[in-house]
């Protein structure tokens, strides 16, 4: 067993940490308050090669391991979770395209996606279909060498910048079970009838947009059917969501780490009754619990990433990591807010923003209760093995 990062992973984390400390942390609170899109930070992420992290080298990417993938989201979220969101859907979609796309699709899109010249996301959720993806109503009807797409999607990250946007559709509404009639189409920006109608206001997760998109008789070339065969959309999406859980677990680690850092620093500096509040046992217990839970979540997340790196099926492990790390992030934000007292409720302190962002972690990429059912089903079916 080796619980240490490799030299390459250490170097990657160090460069990310410097980037976050110098370029993101000083502006995050102000830019979020002003509703400013982080264009300058996005440009720097392009130069760092972060948009191509999960793209194979033959298409211009870094072909990074999943531990490095996790480190990226952890470090970025330590500075500003919304920034991590810009890379989250993009990386998930690129990985899905690299794994399931036709050779023509890979050559057309991946090189420019790797540099950030193109960006992408993924359109799954609908007003009446979130967790139950088989309940989507967006349809794609074949018409010669095109598909005609009609429907709408909600909560789509990167919607205003995605080109192409992978969209989960029903190419056959009559087959049962429903997932056998589902496919993914790559819809290019500017296609007539494809419209981003509004940005959805949110409690947290600022910095990146979450949008409603509408498809009104949108004609998509049949060559943009992911993988070139109908009926594989659900399997393609679920394989990507396995990676997506790791993304959320990494973001949760970043939020929890920052909440711990802010709480510890404040406890050392804040005085009451003539001494730092860090000297009081009640505060010490909170700090000890935060640190222990954070490190446990980190080890669980890196373990699940290493399972994916070995090529193993890891829905059980990534489900555990996403469940535990997200709950730890929420609890760490709450405990750090308590350490801060009234100041923790003020928008002038970082903990208020971390508290708002942490709430999404227990919802995004499957709620905590859904993760528990995923974990339990894998265990009951004998498909998951505990231990190293």
Positions annotated as catalytic residues are 365
**Nearest to 100, CA basis, from 242, 248, 218:** 242
Cα(317)–Cα(313) distance, integer angstroms: 9
Alpha helices in 101-145 (DSSP H): 103-115
Tokens of 287: 């700090």
Q: Where is 298: in which H helix or E strand? A: helix 281-309
On whether the CB atoms of residues 83 and 41 are closer than 8 A, the answer is yes
Distances (CA, A) of 46 to 17, 90, 248, 364: 16, 12, 21, 25
CB neighbour list of residue 133: distance below 8 Å, 6 or more residues apart: 124, 168, 179, 182, 234, 237
Q: What are the beta bridge partners of residue 170?
A: 139, 182
Q: What is the largest CA-CA distance in the chain?
A: 80
Angle (nearest 5°) at CA 257 between 206 and 23: 55
Strands 146-157 and 210-221: antiparallel
Q: Is 27 exposed, middle or buried (0-12, 13-18, 19+ CB in 10 A)?
A: middle
Distances (CA, A) of 387 to 24, 260, 300, 308, 317: 37, 28, 11, 15, 10
Cα(371)–Cα(130) distance, integer angstroms: 14
CB neighbour list of residue 365: distance below 8 Å, 6 or more residues apart: 241, 244, 245, 247, 248, 322
CB neighbour list of residue 382: distance below 8 Å, 6 or more residues apart: none
Cα(98)–Cα(105) distance, integer angstroms: 9
Query: What one-character DSSP code corresponds to residue 370?
Result: H
Distances (CA, A) of 317 to 93, 234, 368, 385: 21, 20, 14, 9
């Amino acid at each position: 067993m080796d619980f240490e990062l490799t030299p390459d992973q250490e170097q990657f984390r160090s460069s990310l940490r410097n980037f976050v400390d110098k370029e993101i942390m000083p502006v995050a609170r102000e830019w979020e308050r002003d509703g400013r899109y982080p264009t300058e930070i996005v440009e720097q992420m392009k130069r760092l090669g972060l948009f191509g992290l999960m793209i194979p080298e033959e298409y211009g990417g870094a072909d990074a391991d999943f531990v490095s993938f996790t480190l990226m989201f952890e470090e970025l979220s330590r500075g500003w979770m919304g920034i991590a969101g810009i890379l989250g859907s993009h990386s998930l979609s690129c990985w899905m395209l690299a794994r399931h796309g036709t050779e023509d699709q890979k050559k057309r899109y991946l090189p420019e996606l790797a540099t950030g010249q193109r960006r992408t996301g993924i359109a799954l959720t609908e007003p009446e279909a979130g967790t139950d993806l088989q309940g989507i109503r967006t349809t794609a009807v074949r018409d010669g060498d095109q598909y005609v797409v009609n429907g709408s999607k909600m909560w789509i990250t990167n919607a205003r910048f995605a080109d192409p946007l992978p969209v989960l559709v029903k190419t056959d509404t009559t087959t049962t079970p429903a997932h056998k009639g589902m496919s993914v189409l790559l819809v290019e920006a500017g296609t007539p009838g494809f419209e981003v109608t509004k940005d959805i206001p949110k409690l947290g997760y600022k910095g990146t947009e979450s949008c409603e998109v509408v498809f009104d008789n949108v004609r998509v070339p049949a060559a943009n059917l992911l993988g070139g065969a109908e009926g594989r959309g659900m399997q393609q999406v679920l394989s990507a969501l396995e990676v997506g859980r790791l993304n959320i677990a990494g973001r949760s680690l970043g939020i929890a780490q920052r909440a711990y850092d802010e709480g510890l620093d404040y406890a050392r500096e804040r005085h009451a009754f003539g001494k730092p509040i860090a000297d009081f046992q009640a505060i010490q217990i909170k700090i000890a619990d935060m640190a222990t839970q954070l490190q446990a979540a980190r080890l669980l997340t890196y373990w699940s990433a290493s399972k994916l790196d070995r090529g193993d099926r890891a829905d059980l492990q990534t489900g555990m990591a996403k469940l535990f790390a997200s709950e730890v992030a929420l609890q760490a934000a709450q405990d750090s807010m308590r350490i801060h007292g009234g100041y923790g409720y003020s928008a002038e302190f970082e903990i208020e923003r971390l508290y708002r962002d942490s709430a999404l972690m227990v919802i995004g990429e499957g709620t905590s209760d859904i993760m528990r059912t995923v974990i339990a089903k894998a265990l009951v079916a004998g498909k998951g093995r505990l231990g190293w």
